[in-house]
Structure 1
Amino acid sequence: MTDLRCPWRGKAFKAYSIIDIYSRKIMGWRVEERESDQLAVEMFEVAFALHGTPDFVHADNGPAMRSDALADLLVANGVTKTHNRPYVSNDNPFSESEFRTMKYRPNYPGTFDDLQSARDHLASYVPWYNTNHRHSGIALFSPQQVHDGTWRHVHRIRDRALQRYHRKHPERFRARPTTPTPTNTVGINIRKETVNI
Structure 2
Amino acid sequence: MTAMEKRELISPEYSDLSVSAQCKLVGLQRSSYYFKPKGEPILNQKIMKAIDRKFMDCPFYGVERMTDHLCSLGYHVGLKRVRRLYKIMNLRTIYPKRNLSKARATDYKYPYLLKGLKIERPNQVWQADITYIPMFRGFMYMFAIIDVYSRRIVGWSISNTMSMEWCRETLSDTIRTEGQPEIFNTDQGSQFTSPNFINPLLDIGIKISMDGKGRALDNVFIERFWRSLKQEYVYLNPPNGGMDLYRGIKAYVEFYNYRRKHTGTGYIPHDRFFEAKAS
Same structural fold, with TM-score higher than 0.5 when normalized by the shorter chain? yes
Q: Give 1:179's aligned residue.
A: none
Q: CA deviation at 1:120?
A: 1.3
Q: Give 1:2's aligned residue.
A: 131
Q: 1:41 to 1:107 in 2, by over 3 A?
A: closer
Q: How does 1:1-197 map to 2 (within 5 A)?
A: 1-7=130-136, 12-88=139-215, 90-105=217-232, 108-109=235-236, 111-149=238-276
CA–CA distance in structure 1, aligned partners of residues 196 and 185 of structure 2? 16
Q: 1:65 to 1:90 in 2, by over 3 A?
A: farther
CA–CA distance in structure 2, aligned partners of residues 19 and 131 of structure 1? 14
Q: TM-score, normalised by structure 2?
A: 0.50
Q: 1:139 to 1:56 in 2, by over 3 A?
A: same
One-letter code aligned to 2:167: A
CA–CA distance in structure 2, aligned partners of residues 67 and 12 of structure 1? 25
Q: 1:117 to 1:91 in 2, by over 3 A?
A: farther
Is contact 2:233-2:252 (8 Å) kept?
no
CA–CA distance in structure 2, aligned partners of residues 117 and 5 of structure 1? 12
Q: Tell me, what secondary structure is at the counterpart of 2:224? A: helix
Which region of structure 1 is more displaced relative to structure 2, 124-133 or 56-65?
A: 56-65
Q: 1:2 to 1:22 in 2, by over 3 A?
A: same
The number of aligned residues is 150
One-letter code aligned to 2:174: A
- The answer for unaligned runs of 5 or more in structure 2 is 1-129
Is contact 1:25-1:130 (8 Å) kept?
yes
Is contact 1:131-1:143 (8 Å) kept?
yes
1:54-106 per-position Cα deviation (integer Å, ceiling 9, x unaligned): 11001123222222221012112111111111234553100011111111216
Is contact 1:41-1:70 (8 Å) kept?
yes
Q: CA deviation at 1:7?
A: 4.9
Q: TM-score, normalised by structure 1?
A: 0.69
